[in-house]
Amino acid sequence: MPRIAILISGFGSNQQAIMDAAQEGRLPGVEVALVVSNRREAFGIKRAVKHGVPVIYFPLAPYTRAGRAREEYDADLARIIRAFDVEWVVMAGWMHVWTAAFLQHFPSRVVNLHPALPGTFPGMHGIEAAYEAYQRGEIEHTGVMVHLVPDPGVDAGPVVAQEVVPIHPDDSLDELETRIHAVEHRLLVEALRSLLASDPG
C-alpha cells in the first residue's frame, strides 16, 4: 500500500481532494500517512485532523533565526517524513523550494502541482500572472500541471499531467481561480493514480 505525505502551506483544498479520493477508493490502496504544514494557521491542518491523519507543524523560521542552513531544515524534515514509512511526497500548495538535502531522500517521488502550463508563470502567483497576461493580450488560455521535482528548479520538472484552462473575456480573477482549482483537484488525483499504479514499489 503506497504511503504518501501531503505538504501544505494554506487552505488545503487539494489536500482534501487527495484524502477524499483515498477514502472513496479513487486512489486504490493509497494511504495518506502524514500531513506537514509549515504554517501554524493553515486550514489544511484542521482538514487532516478531521480525517484522522497525523499532522506535523514544521516551520522554517526557527532555523532562519538561528542562522542554520536551509539544507539542515530540509534534511531534518526528510528524516521526519521517512520515519512514517512514506514513499511519495506530494506538494499541494507547499511554499518552499527544496534543496538536494531533501530531494535525495525521495528520488523521482516528489510531486508538485502548479496552476500554470509547463514553462509558464512559475512561482507563487501563477494564476494572477496568467490573468494579467490575458488582459494584456499576451495569452489566450492558461492551465494546470502536475510534475515531478528532481531538483531545486521552481515549478519545473518532468510533467506527469497537464490540462488547458480557458480564460473568458468577462472573467474576474476569482472566477478564473475557481475554474483552475476545480481542474487542480481532479488532475492531481488522476496524476497520482497513474504514478502510483505504475510504481513497482
* Catalytically active residues, by annotation: 114
Q: What single letter denotes the amino acid at residue 28?
A: P
Contact 193/161 with Cβ under 8 angstroms? no
Only one residue has cell 492551465, namely 143
Question: For the packed helices 173-197 and 126-135, what is the interaxial angle rounded to 10 degrees?
Answer: 130
Round to whole Å and give the CA distance between 32 and 18.
8
| Bridge partners (DSSP) listed for residue 148 | 111
Round to whole Å and give the CA distance between 6 and 55.
10
Q: What single letter denotes the amino acid at residue 21?
A: A
